[in-house]
Amino acid sequence: MLVTGDAYVDHPAFGAAIIARHLESLGYSVGILAQPPWKDASEFKRLGRPRLFFGVTAGNLDSMVANYTPDRRHRETDSYSPGGRPGLRPDLATVVYAHRCREAFPGVPIVLGGIEASLRRLSHYDFVQQKVRGSVLADAKADVLVYGMGERAVGELARHYAEGRPPEALREMAGIAYLSSTPPEGACVLPSTEIAAKTTDGFFEFYRAFREASLDPSPPVQAQPHGKRWVVVNPPAVPLSPEELDALYRLPFLRAFPPSYGREGGIPALETVRTSVVTHRGCSGGCAFCALGAHQGRQVVSRSPEGIMEEVRGLAERADFKGTIQDLGGPTANMYGSRCGLAGAEGKPGCSRPSCLWPKICRHLEASGEPLRKLLGDVRRIPGVRHAFVASGLRHDLLILPGQRNLFRDLVAHHVSGRMKVAPEHISPGVLRRMRKPPLAAFEEFLRLFHEFRQDARKDIFLVPYLVTGHPGTAMEDALALGRFVIEKLGGGVEQAQQFTPTPMTDSTCMFVTGRDPADREAVEIPSGGEAKVQKAILDLKNPRNAEKAASHFRRVGRMDLLKGITTRNEGGGR
């Protein structure tokens, strides 16, 4: 029985669907409770007592991120709910759902999974409650937590419960966490959750120890005291092979939602991915604010070209296919086919570097871009496919490499649906260093090539740069510099600017909580909540509310001259 905080959509981009189809392919019957009312346990009894276990996930997003803005205000919409209605999932949904499962059917094992459980498996900072919490496994009083991409571990757990093995038998299983009265022999013992929650120094030392253990190419078992119990985290599961990924995405997904949702306005999150195709998993970028490496892994595992082509042909044969593949990509589209020349067997990283791209691109990274370029060319020739777009994010520091420039040219000419997404995030050297992002020179070279290739292709396409304000290490001078850059180099408008949100299990969140960078222990300036809002407002001064917010701040500090320099340029228009 799967319980999910998202509406149910039978599509491989939705976690509950992919786990359900995987279990079904292994011969199990699967019931799904999507966004059940949680005030009492009645809805959790509706499908009867599960024979094996409850599988609980908050959904495709952490429930606190889904429910709250970076300012900790309730969101007005939820794209994973019918009609985009908010409020259909509880805060800390993993914990709430687990308690209701236990109330409904005592004695049935409860397995936690999904992004929320994965990134909250040990002590973590909750940005809404503004405090350090312990493991979600202990709070939920569940039996097992699956972290990372869970197909392999969930399949093993299903066999474990189906065969009636004792609880102790699962303690060697990779990719899971469990509660124990004692730590396993030889485990890496982390500072306790009480220490992590008590002081910023305690959290810093906990996170440093967790980070070091996780970056080990052969990670040890980790154990953290939670009161009288221990949360034990086994090493990660072996990633699925390219052949296993192909088989997974070959399962009979309907790529649709139940008709009842249609009467409520549909599921907005489906519309941008209905005809998307996943090409790979994992990301070796290692951005400080991103938890992809902690969840999907640092090694990129690419599907075979044949498997991807087979999926595209299947889409092209559907009666409802209108000729467009909305996205052919993954966590970072142009990492498809890349690999580490030092990588170990079974998908293990080749070294302990957090990033293959920062502070400079590793010489052992094989990232020519040719596998993706060839794949895109082959997809273009499939009968019935008029457009094959790449809507996933792209690493601009890879696209400017000599080996990827032909790919860059092809993307501009054939695979951008009017808007190309890249993520420079900022321009200031100090901020980029804390973010683990490439220097401004890389983005300026990308801009030069983008305009050159756009003119060559005679395409009227636009750039959508993702920017982050309020990140640890960002002073107001940095925000003003970014505002000037937006006006002078990006035409004065930014569609994708986000205020930094301290989500669990990232270096940036450690900086936010402790004021220190876990990579080098250096002190980091943390913008206050008010300053972070002003930094974001600076990027859109044409909005009267933002203009007044920024003006109020600079009047208060007696430096209206700084803001006037930007507003004057803004009124004059950008290049």
Task: Report domain extents, the chain.
Answer: 2-233, 418-575
Asked if 202 and 195 touch (Cβ cutoff 8 Å), the reply is yes
How many residues belong to the chain? 575
- The CA distances from residue 437 to 21, 219, 293, 570, in Å, are 37, 25, 15, 27
Of 2, 106, 20, nearest to 58 by C-alpha is 2
pLDDT at 451: 96
* pLDDT tens readout for residues 25-83: 999 999 999 999 999 999 999 999 999 999 999 999 999 999 999 999 999 999 999 99
263 DSSP 8-state letter: T
- Name the token pair of 565: 């320099």
* C-alpha–C-alpha distance, residues 511 and 211, integer Å: 13
Asked if 299 and 347 touch (Cβ cutoff 8 Å), the reply is yes
pLDDT band at 491 (very low <50, low <70, confident <90, very high): confident
Placement of tokens 């972070």 in the chain: 532
pLDDT band at 565 (very low <50, low <70, confident <90, very high): low
* pLDDT tens readout for residues 423-461: 999 999 999 999 999 999 999 999 999 999 999 999 999
Of 71, 75, 93, nearest to 84 by C-alpha is 75
Q: How many CA atoms lie within 13 A of 393 on its CB side?
A: 14
Find how far residue 277's CA is from the centre of its chain.
17
Checking if the pLDDT of 574 tops 50, the result is no
pLDDT band at 575 (very low <50, low <70, confident <90, very high): very low
Give burial (CB, 10 Å; 0-12/13-18/19+) of 544. Answer: exposed
% pLDDT > 90, the chain? 88
Of 273, 201, 265, nearest to 13 by C-alpha is 273
* C-alpha–C-alpha distance, residues 327 and 324, integer Å: 9
Question: What value does the mean pLDDT take over residues 525-532?
Answer: 94
* C-alpha–C-alpha distance, residues 33 and 16, integer Å: 10
* C-alpha–C-alpha distance, residues 268 and 216, integer Å: 39
pLDDT at 105: 98
* pLDDT tens readout for residues 309-330: 999 999 999 999 999 999 999 9
* C-alpha–C-alpha distance, residues 241 and 297, integer Å: 13
Residues 6+ apart with CB under 8 A from 517: 434, 472, 473, 507, 510, 511, 524
Asked if 517 and 511 touch (Cβ cutoff 8 Å), the reply is yes
In DSSP terms, 419 is beta-bridged to 462
Question: What value does the mean pLDDT take over residues 404-412?
Answer: 98
pLDDT band at 490 (very low <50, low <70, confident <90, very high): confident
Mean pLDDT of the chain: 94
Q: From the CA atom positions of the chain, what is the Rg in Å?
A: 24
pLDDT band at 257 (very low <50, low <70, confident <90, very high): very high
Residues 6+ apart with CB under 8 A from 571: none
pLDDT band at 292 (very low <50, low <70, confident <90, very high): confident
Fold of 418-575: Transcription Regulator spoIIAA (3.30.750)
Question: What value does the mean pLDDT take over residues 496-509?
Answer: 95
Checking if the pLDDT of 572 tops 50, the result is no
Give burial (CB, 10 Å; 0-12/13-18/19+) of 549. Answer: middle
* pLDDT tens readout for residues 358-397: 999 999 999 999 999 999 999 999 999 999 999 999 999 9
pLDDT at 504: 97
pLDDT at 493: 64
Q: Is 194 helix (H, G, I), strand (E, B) or coil?
A: helix
- Name the token pair of 176: 């899971």
- Name the token pair of 59: 């959904």
pTM over 0.85: yes
- Alpha-carbon torsion (163, 168, 170, 176), positive or negative: positive
Placement of tokens 């093995």 in the chain: 165
* C-alpha–C-alpha distance, residues 125 and 229, integer Å: 20
* C-alpha–C-alpha distance, residues 173 and 283, integer Å: 24
Q: Cα torsion at 237, 241, 244, 248 (round to 10°)?
A: 70
- Name the token pair of 85: 């209605």
Of 233, 202, 239, nearest to 219 by C-alpha is 233
* pLDDT tens readout for residues 167-180: 899 999 999 999 99
Placement of tokens 């019931």 in the chain: 31
Question: What value does the mean pLDDT take over residues 537-557?
Answer: 89
